[in-house]
Amino acid sequence: MRCREVGPELPDFVGGRSDEETNRRVSGHLDECPACTRQAQELRALFVRLDEREAWSPAEAYWTSILPRVHRRLEENAARGLPQWTTRFALPVAAAIVLAAAVIKIAPPTGEDYPANFSVLLEQLPPDELQRVTDQQAVSEILQPVLEEPSATSSDDLEDVKTILGEDGSGPAGTDAEMMTGAEDWSDQDAGQLLPMLEERDTSN
């Protein structure tokens, strides 16, 4: 075995993770090569230090605090968004406004039958009334179970829901890998090449 072949095998050899055959071949080389023996010793010393890095583990209380912290964060995210009814009916409201604009453009109302501030009036309707008016029941049915979850109420989350479910509730196109998060922030070329699945569009933000 040559030095350049031994090198990549050394970490596993030193760490005791090599198979028997590799062990035998690397050992044979080390018996005759002072440079690789020195390298192996240095790796062994490094591994001791790396293990020390792991020495401190969090207290038990930390592990039990994770879930409450996560829920708190989800609630904070939701609180930063719009009120729940606003997000629940965001799509119907938008659809109604577009529809109203289209109707007005096609057949401009005249005189008394035209409410000048139609979109404003729509927004002021109570949620149940708006629901009836906008006739977007299908969309609501898709979003309802998700939006009823306590934390999925921010406008961000609504976007997530739409992305995740798709407009028809059948789910997004693409694979699980496309659901990975933070990918667009990872501009490092090497990292991107190494994790091609992470280069996909971040669909959760």
The H-assigned helical ranges of the chain are 3-6, 10-14, 20-32, 34-53, 60-80, 84-88, 90-106, 118-124, 127-134, 137-147, 155-165, 189-194
| Residue 142 CB neighbour total at 10 angstroms | 20
Compare residues 10 and 93 and give the one whose CB is closer to other proteins.
Answer: 10
Q: Does 11 bind other proteins (CB under 8 A)?
A: yes
Out of 3, 50, 102, 103, point to the residue binding other proteins (CB under 8 A): 50
Here's the x/- map for other proteins, 67-86, by CB under 8 A: it reads as x-xx--xx--x---------
The dihedrals phi and psi of 61, each to the nearest 5 degrees, come to: -60, -30
Q: Quick check: 24 binds other proteins (CB under 8 A)?
A: no
What whole-number distance in Å separates Cα of residue 123 and Cα of residue 93? 7
Residues that bind other proteins (CB under 8 A): 7-12, 15, 17, 42-43, 46, 49-50, 52-54, 56, 58, 62-63, 66-67, 69-70, 73-74, 77, 145-146, 148-152, 157, 160-161, 163-165, 171-172, 175-177, 179-183, 185-186, 188, 190-191, 193-198, 203-204
